[in-house]
Amino acid sequence: MYKVFVNDVPIILSTQENIGSQYININIKKAKIKKLIHKIETGELHYVNLYHKKEHKLLKHLKKKLKVIVAAGGLVYNSQKEILFIYRNKKWDLPKGKAEMDENIEETAIREVEEETHVEGLKIVKFLQTTYHIINRNGKYKLKETHWYEMKTDFQGKLIPEASEGIKKAKWKNFEKSQKALLKSYANIKLLFPKEYLLQNPNDKGN
């Protein structure tokens, strides 16, 4: 199963033809994906399940319907076990960005974290997971596929948010401040964190 987010509403990709009475269940090969996305954006739809009997074909069919942007980023810890956040578009986020030609995905992740925060000395600890969300660029929907890595650094210098990317702040946050930041973050970002970081947001609608 996969979750592909439109804002904070997940489109479920699964091998089950019916995952609940509240869901609209559609064969992914027959889905008019752009119309579905528009209905989710306007609040007309909240529960969508796109299914195929073969799990390995779910993303394959989705990628036939939407142009894919490959990106990478990091969940970064310093020596005090604080986590590196950025603040952009009135949300707390993690640093990430689009892959460039002639670099592997791990190189993308490190470069983007460095560029967006000016942190140094990054080392990848492990791969976390890949998240998927829909973006709208110039009136066209695209699928953003982001590969996430846990990283560590002993950097003690000043963080500098990359203003040209619309980033207002770059901050180290301890456990409690991370919990609060995640109340004003994105659903796909929350997937990267252990459950103890996730407080219930009173504005959440259960999506």
3-state secondary structure 14-45: ECCCCCCCCCEEEECCCCCHHHHHHHHHCCCC
Name the 3-class secondary structure at 161. coil
Quick one: CA dihedral 125, 127, 128, 131, positive or negative? positive
Contact between 53 and 29 under an 8 Å Cβ cutoff? The reply is: no
The Cα 143–Cα 62 span in angstroms is 9
Q: What is the pLDDT of residue 205?
A: 41
Q: Of all residues in the chain, what percent are helix, strand and coil, respectively (each to 5)?
A: 25, 35, 40
Q: Which amino acid is at 82?
A: E
Helices (H), 118-171: none
CATH class of 68-197: alpha beta
How do the domains of the chain map onto residue ranges? 2-65, 68-197
Residue 201 is predicted with a pLDDT of 58
Task: Detail the DSSP E strand segments found in 43-185.
Answer: 48-51, 67-77, 83-88, 91-93, 96-98, 123-137, 140-152, 167-173
The one-letter code for the residue type at 127 is: F
**Continuous segment of H or E residues that includes residue 3:** strand 2-6
Read off the tokens for 180.
Answer: 């609060």
Buried b (16+ CB within 10 A) or exposed e, 1-33: ebbbbbeebbbbbbeeeeeeeebebbebeebeb
pLDDT in tens, the chain (207 residues): 999 999 999 999 999 999 999 999 999 999 999 999 999 999 999 999 999 999 999 999 999 999 999 999 999 999 999 999 999 999 999 999 999 999 999 999 999 999 999 999 999 999 999 999 999 988 899 999 999 999 999 999 999 999 999 999 999 999 999 999 999 999 999 999 999 999 865 444 433
Decide: 39 and 45 in contact? Cβ < 8 Å. yes
